[in-house]
Amino acid sequence: MAGNELTLGKLIAKARRRKGWPQRDLAAMIDKSESWVSQAERDVIPVNSLETLRRISEVLDAPLPELLAATPCPGHPPTPARRRPASARVGRNLGPEEGDDPVRRRELLAAAAVVFTTPLASATPAQASTLGPLEELLLYGTAPVPEGSDVTPAGVAASVKASRQHFRAARYDTLAKTLPGQIARAQALKPAELSATAVADLYNIAARLCIKLGEDGLVAITADRALGSARTGGDALTIAEAHRMVSSAWRRQGHLSRATDIAVRAAQDVRADRDTPEPARLASGSSLLATAAYTAAKMGDRQTAHALIGEAAETSKAGRTTAEARTDVGVQQVLLHQLSVHYLLGDAGQAIDLAKTIDPTALPTAERQGRFFIDVARCFDQWGKPEQCYRALLAAERAAPQEIRRGAVKDLAGGLLPHDRSLPGVRAFAGRAGVSLN
């Protein structure tokens, strides 16, 4: 590497010298050792923590996007800052198998920085997502098994995995088109007891898709079908996830107390199931408790909401899931629900403080990353900060373009329209989110 290239370490050292500080002063300001600062400035050790980079940016008055742009990817040599513009855009629609890509990681960190610190930028248009063939299946009958389908346990398992990956990558239009055939394939597997769990898994995914697209009536249908098939199949984790969808259906119909009770009882049931490995049942229980906490917060029950989200956080530390898990859970996932709890209880300031501690690259899927930025946008809107709200929505669109078709985003975008003179591109964004501009 040429000596004049500005690596992250050299940028930090340059900013520190501009302040006239020795390394020990910077170390004290960011709660690190003098040895750590020395190694970081010589690019001996990587600085991959977003929180650490934020603190360095704040104390040295160094632009965070510039530091992020120079952050070396794991396993890669440091990237010169002049070769990586701060306006680098997040890639679109990456699936979970691509989530560990180092360039993707750096760009997501940059997107998080954009929300809080940098000027506004344009975003990539999103395409509308509709249920299409899935709605036909749910309302009017069955779908044909796709020609050439592998109707074997392995083939059906692969179709469930593919559908789950589409959801996690926020490819909702593709999922809506392919789910009917995948459900038909699973239903064709014989005997029926063998196919029941796979059918339930697919209906659970369909319920989550209906939630994303605001099809509340269809959420109830898909959740009911998922629970019926799950009980036939007898798999505790699938039954638990189906109960989570049933809870969501009741919540979306305004029956908040019942929805909370369903999720809490399901969490108790799955954690008591000794036939399921403990890490998996703890993870499932954590997901249900987080869902219950969200519903309790929606009810305005502050004490119950905080108690449940606290229990979910404790449980998530011991719970573990795999790529084939029915739902996404973990410490970072529970933090997302905690963010929502703060928002629903009207504590926008606490929510934003919490959001600043969440590393979006630690969220395992594009769907969760998009949801994070949307939740941040809602909090800024509640806090009366339209510019930061808009930045967060743009970051959500970059992370998961089809997420902005959600009703919550449409409402937020419509509320930003009166600020169109100070928010460049907000009218175009609102149009992409489905707001009528007539």
Q: pLDDT tens digit string along 220-241?
A: 999 999 999 999 999 999 999 9
**Euclidean distance between CA atoms 185 and 410, whole angstroms:** 35
**Euclidean distance between CA atoms 72 and 46, whole angstroms:** 7
User: How many other β-carbons are positioned within 10 Å of the β-carbon of residue 82?
Assistant: 12
Per-residue pLDDT at 96 exceeds 70: no
**Euclidean distance between CA atoms 271 and 286, whole angstroms:** 9
Structure tokens at 169: 């990558």
SS3 of residue 299 by DSSP: coil
Among 123, 124, 71, smallest CA distance to 102 is for 71
Scanning the structure block, which residue is given the tokens 């985003």?
A: 409
Listed range (134-143, 210-219, 332-341, 365-374) with the worst mean pLDDT: 134-143
Q: Tell me the residue type at 263.
A: A
Query: Predicted confidence band at 267 (pLDDT cuts at 50, 70, 90)?
Result: very high
Helices (H), 81-171: 102-117, 133-140, 153-168
Supply the pLDDT for residue 149: 84
DSSP conformation letters of 112-129: HHHHHHS-----------
Among 328, 325, 375, smallest CA distance to 352 is for 375
**Over the stretch 383-426, which tens digit does the pLDDT of each residue have?**
999 999 999 999 999 899 999 888 899 999 999 999 988 898 89
Query: Predicted confidence band at 120 (pLDDT cuts at 50, 70, 90)?
Result: very low
Among 16, 98, 107, 112, smallest CA distance to 57 is for 16
Q: What residue spans in the chain does CATH classification 1.10.260.40 cover?
A: 8-117
Is 1.10.150.110 the CATH number for 8-117? Answer: no
Who contacts 401 (Cβ-Cβ below 8 Å, separation ≥6)? 92, 93, 124, 125, 126, 127, 170
**Euclidean distance between CA atoms 116 and 357, whole angstroms:** 12
Per-residue pLDDT at 119 exceeds 70: no
Supply the pLDDT for residue 325: 61
